[in-house]
Structure 1
Amino acid sequence: MHDIRQIRENPAAFDAAMARRGLSSLSSEILAVDTARREKIMAAEEALATRNKASKEVGAAKARGDDAEFERLRALVSEKKAEIATLEEESKIEDARLRDMLMVIPNIVADDVPEGADESENQEMHTWGALPTYDFAPKEHFELSGTAASLDFETAGKISGARFVMLKGAVARVHRALAQFMLDTHVDENGLTEINPPVLVRDDAMTGTDKLPKFGEDSYQTTNGWWLVPTAEVPLTYSVAEGTLAAEDLPRRMVAHTLCFRSEAGSAGRDTSGMLRQHQFEKVEMVSIMHPDDSDAELERMTKCAEGILEKLVLPYRTVKLCTGDIGFGAKRTYDIEVWLPGQNAYREISSCSTTGDFQARRMNARFKPADGGKPEFVHTLNGSGLAVGRCLIAVLENGQQADGSVTLPAVLRPYLGGKTRITSEGALA
């Protein structure tokens, strides 16, 4: 959420920042509501001062026997009391209007975010790994003879409908191994604290992490009001809401492996084959709560943590900086990591690492107390996939595929698979 004082002090700069997001001038409408709200507050304060003064004078008028003045002052006190109640209610309405307006306005992007209309104008930062070559036409993950039977879309469809999959046997075990490997790496090598959070959250948690109100249709809500998390970013980030951390508590770095749920609203017809885009999936998510001075460096560190997982798995990837037309609603700067999928002959997103600055912290009132004892400040929050487990499974299967439909597995997974090194063309671990 934006600081109304900054909009008030420099509306032209705010409008210029929103123009980079493709939005028309917003400041005049926002400031009109802000002005109305402040006028109501000031009028209520003036009425209160008048009432207080009259209240003090009532007794004096009574004592000196001035009945006319006594009645006038008593009527004035009653009048101002009613006026204050009306003004306070009106100011609350204007305050709610202002908050509702600010809640649906995206974050201001960093100066170095490239201009662009869509993902085609994202800026490639670097690539890693040699793209695999084959003496046969590479297939997609669901076409391999060694994995096709273990990716049961038919049974999942019978149970839950489209965009679900039931993993079986060797593929299910590799999927589990990938998640465990990611967690171990982030905890043991990257210094993150493992968290096992709830995946049902309240409105406040979704709103505080900028998922509501704008993206309600993209998530699932239970009949009693809970939301199924679209990512563990929500509970991890919101864990510091409505509190003030000590400076020595920063940075706070967390990681969680959870189920995630997304309705995929607006994605009809996209990636309908295979398990690339599902309503239910698993992800290892990283979240950092930072001192504002350290958040830019933390985005670089977090991105390297995600890239490191792919490098250990020997999966080729590229990292891109998202342009103004592709960056997310709450992000100030985002790096997407895209893994190579031979079956599609394309790079596809497997991680998105973002800094939101104090955008989320303002929404959920998360602060820290500076070491010098100054006034509490808003923390900065960052989040990044470390990685999407299902998409990583796809990449492992497709990059390791052999001509006979078997799959050679990354060496780093062997300790998690009982020393097994491949999935045979019949679908067994060997």
Structure 2
Amino acid sequence: MVRWIIIASSTLAMRLTLFPLHVLQMHKIKKISRSFSKLPPLFPPPLSGRSYIEQISLFRNERRAIGCPSYLWFLAFLSVQIPCFLLWMTSIRRMCLDNHPGFDCGGALWFQNLTELPHGVLGPIFPFLIAGLHGVNVHFSFDRSSVRNTSGLLGLLSEYYRKYLNFMMLPLFFIGYCIPQGSLVYWVTNSSLTAIQQVSLKLPVVRAKLGLLDKDFPKAPALSAEMVAHELCKVSPENLSPHELLVLSVKLLSSGHRARAIPLLQMALEKDSGHVKALIVMGQARLQEGLHAEATDHLERAISNLILTGHPTAEDVDHLILASQWAGVACIRQGKNAEGIMHLERITSLEEPEDPKSKAHYFDGLLLLASALSKEDRNAEAVKYLRLVVAYDPSRKEFLDQCL
């Protein structure tokens, strides 16, 4: 059998051997994505009183408790594929340089001699294929919705990394002239199989066979910041109602585009200065920017409007809990601990909500209050509220243990 066929077939055999590991990795990553919302944050939340080591330990214990796989699974396939790629490349290159029997006439078409470097009129074919397949694989890798919809710092880094990989097409083209044609046969075969694999794993039929298809497939595409901006181009923001402006600003904030969202919130408040939801969202946005005084102002205005409500609804109560939480945090971050505790204590005057989401906010507020009280050496009061929190969520028991 001619040598180039042996090289190509051995490459195919290697990729088929590695494919089950790739599928297993995809299953693990899918399980991680489903478990992510159930895990505590990796870094300690404000006023939690936990150190980074304690928070990471809590994160690890919770991850194990719910059966979430290790995050090292993200590197599993690459940690095997890259060494195999380098091993195959160096081995074939060494065989070419050592004039292994059959390599001098084991090619076909324009690459008859596998020991030679690309040359002649048809010499650019292999370098062009290597660079082109690299670009195709980069495109397929970054074409996934999870990558395209990534925003914030991670999205920016992802975009720069994509540009870097695309730029690498040029160096790879010239590197192709410095590698024996036998190694280039392997490289082209491997890159071609990677492209085929990526295309195949995007097909719903293939994903269903491998158990990778989400139950809710297909999903409706989420509105990106660009889509929101496109809608704003069609309709002038001045013609939108405060509620519509709030909805657009929330979509922008969720996409990490705070700078675009703030003007819309300001416009909504200019049209309706007492819009509670807009005040709360603006307060949260300002708090994230570190503008604690402005955040406090907006949140306290929201609280005043909610308190003046004659017959508050369940939604009003939830808004009051959230506004009191964030106002308390904003005051404490300014060193106004007494005012912050006063805002947080407002939550204790409310009845425990029946709505699960509001109830979670309620006990989050009690936890923040207990943390603030413990820092003021008011442990007895902190313990009282922590017992209520633990009764609702036993996983918070460690906070109670710290105060006892």
Task: Please classify the TM superposition score into its range, dividing by the shorter chain length.
Answer: under 0.3
Larger Rg: 2
TM-score if structure 1 supplies the norm length?
A: 0.26
Higher RCO by CA contacts (8 Å cutoff, separation 6 or greater): 1
Structure with bigger strand share is 1
